[in-house]
Amino acid sequence: MIGRWIFVRDSGMTRRGWLALGALALLALIVLLPLRLVLGIAMPENVTARSVEGSVWDGRIADLNVGPLPLGTVDAGLEPLPLLIGRAQFAISRDGFSAKGGAHGISQASGSIALPDGLGGLPVTGLSFNRFSVRMDHGGCVQAEGTLGVTLASFGPLMPNGLALSGTARCEKGALVVPMRGPQGMERLALRMTRDGRWQADLTLSGLPQEAADALRAGGFDARPGGIGIGTSGSF
């Protein structure tokens, strides 16, 4: 009787019914698609994480790193609207930071990121973002906006206070460029990232007391017109 009941139900299934059943099965597959699978396909190679859990729409990424930037553990989900133009974009968030990102760059980044290991040869303790966005095409910067800032630790007993510098992002010949200044205008940092993922940071300090300048030169700074400076570089 059970077999006959199934047979009768199957024989009565219309083409529209089969299409609806197939659509429901496809919808269930999409809704339950693991975030780990899509993240591995859509994100650049320099994105790493300790673990990825949950569905593609509502997941969690533990110890997310983008190149040398540790974002920590974030909630993440694929955004549906960019899919209409064939672009995979994820919204990520945690306490104190949020952004949207994918293989074509990041957008609407706001908040701060701690850098316990510094940034190259500079004692950078953190980065700050205010509606920061950068769009990449074939590896080159094609559009950038918003503010990026850095916080530097103390350079020694003669400069006990840290420094905070910030500037507006822009694209320049395919490179991301952020010229930053400190609150007094005597501190300048030029940050540049090229299409091959290499970055350069050049810090210049002016108006320092002679003893402070001498101590920094002994620590690796070089003399420059009107001040002293130091450069460092790395890659994403």
pLDDT digit string, tens, across residues 106-130: 999 999 999 988 888 899 999 999 9
Mean pLDDT over each residue of the chain, to the nearest integer: 83
Whose tokens are 């769009």? That residue is 135
Q: How far is CA 13 from the centre of its chain?
A: 50
C-alpha torsion 102→103→108→113, nearest 10: 80
Q: Which two tokens stand for residue 80?
A: 């549906």
Q: pLDDT-derived band of residue 9, with 50, 70 and 90 as boundaries?
A: very low
pLDDT given for residue 151 in this prediction: 95
DSSP-based three-state secondary structure for 18: helix
pLDDT tens string 48-107: 889 999 888 889 999 999 888 899 999 998 888 887 777 888 999 999 999 998 878 899
